[in-house]
Amino acid sequence: MEERMRPVSCCARRVITALAICLLLLIAGATQVSAQQKDKKNKNNSPLPTATTSGPTIALSDEQQIDYLVSTMLGAWQVGDVDKLHGTYSDDVTIVPGPYMPPVIGWNTYLPFYQQQRARMQQVRMDRTNTVVKVNGNCAWATYQWDFSAVIDGQPSASQGHTTLVMDKRSGKWLITLNHTSVAEQSAPKQFSAPGTAQPH
């Protein structure tokens, strides 16, 4: 004997509909939580800021900031990056160049001097050694030796010297306020010969 299906009552339909809605809401909620966790994970795995984005992520000591500033200044000077170079100098900087000449006062006075000098150079290299940094509150100085080589006006050129930088910390940023450079006197290399042989005259 076949049993006939009874029609679903109105009350049962409401319960089934309510359960279906609850199930849909649970699925939607779980999907949203999963998406939020994925976004959070992506944010946590994002690359650390670099010097070209928002700066170093680890707080540097004043000495480390100054060493980085000197490296930035020398790098910008070598490649001719005027904007980056300006970022290391105060607008009221005083620059005492290596040649015997009056000091250059102010960034706007120094810029054309630098551009004229840099335009004559190719294959520029400037290495620094023996850097010493001293910090006293919002003032500091750094001194170092340098070894320069380049092709200037088509001719190879090389020199060595010393630079002393004086810096002020302004609005939390170190800026060079004085750059004093001196070129070491170049002497002809001594020629040595083996004992018993004559030296050229």
Choice among 56-70, 127-141, 156-170 with the minimum mean pLDDT:
56-70
Mean model confidence pLDDT for the chain:
77
Burial group, residue 69, by CB count within 10 angstroms (0-12, 13-18, 19+): buried
* Banded model confidence at residue 48, pLDDT cuts 50, 70, 90: very low
Nearest to 146, CA basis, from 168, 164, 167: 164
Q: What pLDDT is attached to residue 98? A: 77
Residue written as token pair 């994970």: 41
Query: pTM for this one?
Result: 0.64
How much is the average pLDDT of 8-32?
A: 52
Spatial distance between the Cα atoms of 72 and 29, rounded to a whole number of angstroms = 51
Q: Which residues contact 80 (CB under 8 A, 6 or more apart)?
A: 118
Q: So what's the pLDDT on residue 59?
A: 86
- Cβ–Cβ under 8 Å, residues 133 and 63: yes
Higher pLDDT, 99 or 83: 83
pLDDT for 21 equals 58
Q: What is the pLDDT of residues 52-83, one digit of tens each?
A: 445 556 788 999 999 999 999 999 999 999 99
